[in-house]
C-alpha cells in the first residue's frame, strides 16, 4: 500500500516537514472539463462569453489565478508557497465543453500540484457560477494532474 505522507506515527494529521529538501524549480499543470452545453457555447463571441455579470472567461481566469495563490488557505496541510507564476487557459474542447488548463510554478522545497488543481477547480466553479442561470445542468468533470516536473520525480498523465 502506498504511504500516506500527511499522517504521523499515530495516524494524526501532519504537515510534512520539507526543511531538508532542496529548493528546485517545480511546475505542475492540471486540467478540468466544464460542459456548458451547445447553446451556451454558441454564444461565444471572439473567444469570449459575456453575460450580465461581465466577461465570463476573463473572470474565470482571474478567479483561477487567485485560487492558485490561496491554496494553502483552503487545503489545511498545504504549505504556503511563493508562486513564480500562475497561468489559467480556457479553450474550446468540443461543441459543448471548455478545457481549463492551470499551470503553477515555484522555486521551493515542495511541489505545486495542489496549486494547479485548485486553480483549475476555482476557474471551473467560477464558470458555473457565472453561467448557472442560463444552464443549471453544467457539469464539471475530469479534474486531474496532467504533469509535474521538479523535486524527486516527474509525472505525466
pTM of the model: 0.90
Per the domain annotation, does 151 fall within a domain?
no
**Enzyme catalytic residues:** 129
**Total number of domains in the chain:** 1
Range of 60's domain?
Answer: 46-146
What region does 132 belong to: left with phi over 0, alpha with psi -120 to 50, or beta?
Answer: alpha
Per the domain annotation, does 33 fall within a domain?
no
Instruction: Give the pLDDT confidence score for residue 139 in this predicted structure.
Output: 98
Per the domain annotation, does 10 fall within a domain?
no
Is residue 7's pLDDT more than 80? no
Per the domain annotation, does 85 fall within a domain?
yes
Per the domain annotation, does 15 fall within a domain?
no
Per the domain annotation, does 82 fall within a domain?
yes
Q: What does the pLDDT look like over 9-32, one tens digit per residue?
A: 777 777 777 878 889 999 999 999
Per the domain annotation, does 157 fall within a domain?
no
**For the domain that residue 102 is a member of, what is the CATH number?**
3.30.70.640
Per the domain annotation, does 71 fall within a domain?
yes
Amino acid at each position: 500500500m502506498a504511504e500516506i505522507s500527511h499522517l504521523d506515527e499515530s495516524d494524526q494529521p501532519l504537515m510534512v516537514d520539507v526543511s531538508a529538501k532542496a529548493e528546485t524549480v517545480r511546475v505542475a499543470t492540471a486540467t478540468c472539463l466544464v460542459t456548458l452545453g451547445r447553446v451556451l457555447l454558441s454564444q461565444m463571441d471572439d473567444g469570449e462569453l459575456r453575460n450580465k455579470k461581465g466577461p465570463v472567461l476573463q473572470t474565470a481566469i482571474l478567479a483561477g489565478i487567485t485560487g492558485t495563490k490561496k491554496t494553502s488557505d483552503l487545503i489545511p496541510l498545504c504549505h504556503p508557497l511563493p508562486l513564480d507564476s500562475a497561468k489559467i487557459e480556457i479553450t474550446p474542447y468540443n461543441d459543448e465543453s471548455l478545457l481549463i488548463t492551470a499551470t503553477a510554478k515555484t522555486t521551493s522545497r515542495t511541489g505545486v500540484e495542489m496549486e494547479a488543481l485548485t486553480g483549475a477547480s476555482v476557474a471551473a466553479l467560477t464558470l458555473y457560477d457565472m453561467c448557472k442561470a442560463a444552464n443549471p445542468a453544467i457539469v464539471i468533470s475530469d479534474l486531474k494532474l496532467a504533469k509535474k516536473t521538479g523535486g524527486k520525480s516527474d509525472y505525466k498523465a
